[in-house]
Structure 1
Amino acid sequence: MSEDEATPEGAPPKSKTPLFIGIVLALVGCGGGFYATFSGMILGGGSENHAKSENEEIKNPFADIAFVEIEPMVISVDAQPERRILRFRAQLEVPQSYQADVTKLLPRVVDVLNSYLRALEVADLEDQTALTRLRAQMLRRVQVVTGQGRVNDFLIMEFVLT
């Protein structure tokens, strides 16, 4: 089939000029949008906005933390018919400015943890989600003993039920 047969008689042939103009304008628009985003004119992602001055120091987020180790604990868990043993070891993440205060309060922290862990049953310890739940409970108890803002996190290093 030729072009003459496809167009009805008396109709002018179709021009492809609008199609080419549309493609060129689309490419120019895409290029302009890319440049505006990449240079930071849009969304503020440019390097000029985030550049640090020479006098400004980059702060290390790990410079202010310290870890206080809690002595390993061995706790008997009363399970019928045999006794089971829980070996537990943890560390506290604290700001360096409070490290001495938290170390001074370690006997109270150990007492609270010991009391809490002895009150648990074997079923509480064997659940798959138990460690996350227990960690949150112990962190809250330690924060109550040491005071607000002195303990950032509670890290369980060893948790073995034998």
Structure 2
Amino acid sequence: MAETEQADGGGIEAEANAAAKPKARLKMIIAAVGVLAVIGGGAGWFFFFRHHGEETRAEAGPPPKPPAFIELPDMLVNLAGNPGDRVQFLKVKLTLEVKEEKQAEPIKLKLPRVTDIFQTYLRELRPSDLSGSAGLFRLKEELTRRVNLVLAPNEVSAVLFKEIVVQ
């Protein structure tokens, strides 16, 4: 009879062990997936973010050369207006910005043409064309476009206002 009790008792333990084995396997699988996720996340960070900084440093290269500036003579022009209106004047001091100093010499030789094209354009303006920051921005863009047409193949990066007075 002892054998049957041991067999019955052993059967209960076997059933408990059989039920515990799938739970233990499930815990092992979850733990393994968690460990792989942590390792995969670390490896992904390592490959994507670590190399990003090295590429930026490799592309930086030597520092860019400082731009050169060319001063233009002061310009005083009368603005276009309706007949009988009070005459208004525009006084501007301009500077041309070029990318490198070596570009400045050929441009200095053509400054009379630049002054002429600016004078001609500025005399066509009305006081309302210069109102507000949007008007000045449009003026700056138009002067840059015109100077680049005159100076081609040389290029001016920007026309800078040192002083602008509408009177």
What TM-score do you get using the length of structure 2 for normalisation? Answer: 0.68
Q: Which aligned pairs between 1:1-162 and structure 2 lie closer than 5 A?
A: 15=23, 17=27, 18-40=29-51, 45=52, 47=54, 58-63=61-66, 65-79=67-81, 81-94=85-98, 95-162=100-167
CA apart distance, 1:70? 0.7
Say what the alpha-carbon RMSD is for the aligned residues: 2.9
- The runs of 4+ residues in structure 1 deviating greater than 6 Å are none
Unpaired runs of at least 5, structure 2: 1-18
Distance 1:60 1:35 in 2: 29
Q: Per residue, is there more strand in 1 or in 2?
A: 1
Distance 1:36 1:49 in 2: 15
User: Which structure has the bigger radius of gyration?
Assistant: 2
Amino-acid identity (%): 29
**Equivalent residue of 1:148, what SS?**
coil
Alpha carbons of structure 1 residues 37 and 129: separation in structure 2 relative to 1, 3 Å: same
Unpaired runs of at least 5, structure 1: 1-11, 53-57
Distance 1:129 1:48 in 2: 39
| 1:37-83 deviation line (CA, Å, top 9, x unaligned) | 3443xxxx36389559xxxxx533224x3211011222222445323
AA of the residue aligned to 1:99: A
Q: Per residue, is there more helix in 1 or in 2?
A: 2
AA of the residue aligned to 2:70: V
Query: Number of paired residues?
Result: 141
Distance 1:121 1:37 in 2: 56
